[in-house]
Structure 1
């Protein structure tokens, strides 16, 4: 799945990119404004799409000075499905949160990071998931949960899911890639626990370098 272009799941055309922008904002856009956001497409190509979608009724147009401004017709029968596709990343994070909350051994902290967090995930990207395991967790139960989640998330997205796991003790002992964790603390999308917990922990560890 290409989360940076969510409607690619159903259409690889300019239409999907235009609809994704309109569905993600309540405001109005001229073709020029859309072109600045969707620079991979020509402005003329965007205009043609807008005219076609306006004829379908899914997009509304209003004259603003010498130009036309466009917005999604949220009363259209197709609008709820378009909006659902446009917010697919949010839906993914909510599903992951729900699964983690149901775990018998919940993580101390978890976050999605990498290309998803950077807004660069494509159909060929891995989905990176950081999981911090409680020190007293049952190892077999924990491993089973992680394996099940990796399979589920891959089924949801089509992307290979790559869990990155540490125990609390491993963090305290600095047996980890500090650069990765600091990137998660800055840019990761938290799905369990508190980002402040990770940030505070990393600050404490760094402070102990002496």
Structure 2
């Protein structure tokens, strides 16, 4: 079995567990992204994950595990780094317009090459800047291991549309952060995310704007 076929089987098995269906061309694009990330990672140190199989689990499946929670047509991926979760989500949803935001020049160069290589230029944009400098309003915002919830919202809360959803990816249940949510925002839900093949805690915190009621305390 070729390495590519092994990766393909690993991705397909994970998608089945997540109850997701991607067509064959999209699966190949996801694997093309892993290939590109492997090539650039040696020089640019984009991720601590060096093994292609682990990238399928820790990057592709970890990102796609939140696909069902993405709403609307526009998404900003803040602190995108190597394009996670923004690029896997953009590949999986052809109707989604994505802004990948990162202030690191090397990472932004990789993101621009990934957008070109994966033929996403018509609906994926790279913003090489700090989150505070981004202009616009988005139906959905993602942030993966970016900062505390309070800092995320202080820097990028202005980007969330009135009925938009902020999808914050966390490891352990972030009770302290939930207790210190800034005014103007509320917790809609916290979901435990089970990523196939990943032996680690994952939680998705969904945040919305609050126009009157205070944020609720969420218990694990």
Q: Mark yes or no: TM-score above 0.5.
A: no
Given the two structures, how large is their TM-score scaled by the length of structure 2? 0.32
Given the two structures, how large is their TM-score scaled by the length of structure 1? 0.33
Where relative contact order (Cα < 8 A, 6+ residues apart) is larger, the structure is: 1
Larger radius of gyration: 1
* Structure with more helix by fraction: 1
